[in-house]
């Protein structure tokens, strides 16, 4: 199941684990990324907490945790090469995997059509 947030994150939800990244629209708005900082595996976040940081040449931006949960895996490939987020934001440029505290919370997120409409 693919879901989106108004803060321009996508979640690919498989069971109770969500793979999280930023949308193509967000990557385009940020421009070429030069630095990514990911959370520690095992860290727990509430919805809306700062979970990761992305930086372009000119500015730093936070990536918010889209739902309550615990980080089970992070994508070290994007810390080694932040440009992956720009070239494949909704694929190889994923950020982290989140074990959802409440699987049902995901139902309230946007579906793709609603998200695309929100940025149109």
Residue placing its CB nearer to another protein in the complex, 35 or 102: 35
Pair 51, 18: CB distance under 8 Å: no
Q: In the set 7, 55, 68, 88, which binds another protein (CB under 8 A)?
A: 55
Q: Is there binding between residue 48 and another protein (CB under 8 A)? A: no
Q: Is there binding between residue 44 and another protein (CB under 8 A)? A: no
Any residues with CB less than 8 A from the CB of 12 and at least 6 apart, and which? 1, 2, 18, 19, 94
Q: Is there binding between residue 40 and another protein (CB under 8 A)? A: no
Cβ neighbours around 6 below 10 Å, total: 12
- By CB under 8 A, name the binding residues for another protein: 31-32, 34-35, 37, 53, 55-58, 60
């Amino acid at each position: 199941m693919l879901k989106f947030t108004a803060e321009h994150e996508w979640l690919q939800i498989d069971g109770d684990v969500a793979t999280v990244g930023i949308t193509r629209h967000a990557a385009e708005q940020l421009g070429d990324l030069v630095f990514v900082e990911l959370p520690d595996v095992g860290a727990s976040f509430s919805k809306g907490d700062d979970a990761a940081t992305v930086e372009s040449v000119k500015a730093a931006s936070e990536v918010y945790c889209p739902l309550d949960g615990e980080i089970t895996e992070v994508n070290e490939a994007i810390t080694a090469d932040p440009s992956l987020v720009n070239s494949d934001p909704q694929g190889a440029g994923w950020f982290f995997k989140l074990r959802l505290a409440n699987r049902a919370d995901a139902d309230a997120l946007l579906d793709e059509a609603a998200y695309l409409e929100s940025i149109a």
